Structure 1
Amino acid sequence: MKVKHFFLVLLVCLAGCQTTPKVLRETKPLVLVTIPPYAYLVNRIAKDRLKVRSIIPPATNLHLYEPTPREVAKMGTARLWIQIGEPFEKKIFKALHEKNPQLESLPLWEHTRLLTSDDSEVLSPCDGHSGHSHEGKDLHFWMSPKVMLSQAYLITETLSKIFPEDSDLFHQNFQEVETDLEALNKDLENILEPFKGEALLLSHPSFGYFCKEYDMVQLAVECEGKDPRPRDIETLLKNAKKYHIRAVLTQAGFNNRGAEMISKKLGLTPHEVDPFAYSYISNMLKIANEITE
């Protein structure tokens, strides 16, 4: 199992870290985030006061990603880890915390109303199981600017408690983030207004919150990361034809074959998007424009 191997690598690296503290000492406090969009938020809120590191790179399948020993070692001095609820986070955090008791976690999913599989339609040969959830919940909550705004405030408050000397700066910067996220939401509403009720055909179910927010339908074609069998394609195609599909969206690092085969039969051109991209606001606008093309 990749996670078990990762955990063993982590323990070895952390043990090594204890003998070479000067190599890993940061000039600024280190904050970890699981995915790049939260690195963007923390950098906007903290400016140059903190060093921010995303564990998962952009355009990567976080279910399959395995950090290198050097990447694991760089986590050892962190003061905070902003987490999204992925299973690997708990094990890694425990190992890190044993070596670095100062490390704190901010479990964003505990402060978010999570969607369930009932909130989206999954076109899958696996009887509706998408293979990405926290106890059956959808963890792609950053795809809603409104959720991101509430989480940005939570991050601001958490950073202020850990680094009280910079609290005023964090809150001042948050006001700019708040303005920008509110503007983003309005822009997305205006862009997507003509397409309410239409569907997005996706290789991976990353758009549940996005579709919920802007009154669209998420149709995800996924079977635990595996290609749909030939006999499944016709069934998937028949189900897809029940909806008016606005766009077909694929993701780098994920298995896109099922969505690509269905889009070809429907005469649609797939568009590759990256929900994990760092530049959150510009990326969300880019995704919206891909949908409207």
Structure 2
Amino acid sequence: MVRVLGKLTVFTLFSLIFARPGFAVDRIPVFVSIVPQKYFVQQIGGDLVDVHVMVQPGANLHAYEPRPKQMADLSKARVYFAIGDPSEHAWLKKVAAASPKMRVVHTDHGIEKIPMTTHHNHDEEGEHNEKEQAGHGRDEGQGKPGNLDPHIWLSPPLVKIQARTILNALQEIDSLHRTIYEVNYNQLVSGIDELDAQLKATFAGKQGLQFMVFHPAWGYFADAYGLEQVPIEIEGKDPKPAQLKALIEHAREKGIKVVFVQPQFSAKSAEVVAREIGGQVAFADSLAEDWMASMREVAEKFKAALK
């Protein structure tokens, strides 16, 4: 018994000495850009992965700067799953320098991106906007990356594409457990298909209706279910007085009574619009950790707000 305990003690000390700081022992150390990606990777990787998030809860993805400790932890990571936001470009250069052996996987690979929605799409350019909604004006390698919508995790059909990319990467990194990853992936996709069917039923008969948001994060969601988002924010900034007036008039014309904001953004402009239209401000978190539950919750809020 003493000999066994001695061996266990030596093994424990060895593990403590050689364990990677910041990561669980015997798991694949993974970094992702945003919290919803953590959900996807954990659903597929299960107990075989240890996932760290770059953009912490409550922070703004589009204006985030990695912390020194994160850069240090990155040097131990095996893989980084990028989401495709323009802000990542600067990170990825630092990531490559910090950990040249770490693999960077772009989960937006194979996804056809749409332009970021602006309010003018819903004014005099209705005919032009209809063409964009029909699929024209999408990214075909011609647009500037900064003008394309990076919020691909808010569309269940697009998340299935990202899940496949994550699966392929984990199976290549850890081929010993490829069957486990495949089983977990299939379970995730089954859940996404069920969610997609529920959302289609939720928004049946509401095609073309509009909901107002501060930050235009819900373009892919709207695209998937035949809706239209009307953003208050213009090119990442609060609207000017004349633009704000136009938004208020548009909301009145369309009977919009709810303005949705994300917890990561100021609600000041949204509150002004809501007050002027006799409406209210509601939260729709695009970066919630429980992605599946959050999508259902936000969908119910959108449904209640649609007129």
Distance 1:78 1:173 in 2: 22
Matched with 1:186 is: 197
User: Are 1:81 and 2:92 counterparts?
Assistant: no
**d(CA) in 1 for partners of 2:169 and 2:222?**
29
| Aligned counterparts of 2:145 and 2:35: Cα–Cα separation in 1 | 20
Question: Match for 1:261 among 272, 275, 278?
Answer: 272
Structure 2 equivalent of residue 6 of structure 1 = none
Answer whether contact 2:66 2:91 (CA < 8 A) is retained: no
Q: Aligned partner of 2:105: which letter?
A: L
Structure 1 or 2, whichever has the larger Rg, is 2
Distance 1:155 1:84 in 2: 11
Per-residue CA distance 1:229-275 (angstroms, 9 max, x = gap):
43432222223344343742111121322222112211221111211
Residue 25 (structure 1) shift:
6.9
The aligned residue for residue 122 of structure 1 is 119
1:84 CA drift (Å): 1.6
What is aligned with 1:201?
212
The residue identity in structure 2 corresponding to 1:264 is R
Give the match for residue 250 of structure 1: 261
Counterpart check, 1:156 vs 2:167: yes
Cross-structure match for 1:29: 28
- Listed as ranges, the gaps of 5+ residues in structure 2 are 1-16, 126-143
**Alpha-carbon distance change, 143 to 192 in structure 1, aligned in 2, over 3 angstroms:** same
Decide whether aligned partners of structure 1 residues 78 and 230 sit closer, same or farther in structure 2, where only a CA change above 3 A counts.
same
Q: Report Cα offsets for 1:187-214 as digits up to 9, x if no partner.
A: 1111222432211101000000000111
2-structure distance, mates of 1:184, 1:25: 34
CA distance in 1, matches of 2:158, 2:20: 38
Q: What does residue range 90-109 of structure 1 map to in structure 2 within 5 Å? A: 90-109=89-108
Counterpart for residue 10 of structure 1: none
Asked if the contact 2:274/2:281 (under 8 Å) is kept, the reply is yes
TM-score, normalization by structure 1:
0.82
Count of matched residue pairs? 265
Match of 1:57 in 2: 56
**Structure 1 residues 228 and 104: alpha-carbon distance in aligned structure 2, compared to 1, 3 A threshold:** same
Which residue of structure 2 lines up, in the alignment, with residue 144 of structure 1?
155
- SS of 2:260 mapped into structure 1: strand
Tell me the secondary structure at the aligned position of residue 204 of structure 2: helix
Match of 2:187 in 1: 176
How far, CA to CA, are the matches of 1:165 and 1:102 in structure 2?
Answer: 20
Q: TM-score normalised to the size of structure 2?
A: 0.79
What one-letter code is carried by the residue in structure 1 that aligns with 2:183? Q
> What is the aligned-residue RMSD (CA, Å)?
2.4
Q: In the alignment, is residue 70 of structure 1 matched against residue 69 of structure 2?
A: yes
> Does the alignment pair 1:165 with 2:176?
yes
Question: 2 CA distance for matches of 1:80 and 1:64?
Answer: 23
How far is 1:76 from its partner? 1.9
Question: Structure 1's 232 and 121: CA in aligned 2 closer, same or farther, altered over 3 A?
Answer: closer
Instruction: Report the CA distance between 1:174 and its aligned residue.
Output: 0.6
Aligned residue identity for 2:51: V
1:214 and 1:244, CA in 2 relative to 1: closer, same or farther beyond 3 A?
Answer: farther
| Gap runs ≥5 in structure 1 | 1-19
**Offset, 1:57:** 2.0
Partner AA of 2:110 in structure 1: H
Misfit runs of 4+, over 4 Å: 20-23
User: Aligned partner of 2:89: which letter?
Assistant: K
2:247 is paired with a residue whose SS is: helix
Shift of the 207–99 alpha-carbon distance from structure 1 to 2, 3 Å rule, reads: closer
Answer 1 or 2: higher relative contact order, Cα 8 Å, separation at least 6.
Answer: 1
SS where residue 270 of structure 1 aligns?
strand
Structure 2 residue identity aligned to 1:109: D
* Alpha-carbon distance in 2 for matches of 1:23, 1:230: 53
Please give the residue correspondences for 1:214-229 in structure 2 after superposition, counting only pairs within 5 Å: 214-229=225-240
Q: Paired residue for 2:11? A: none
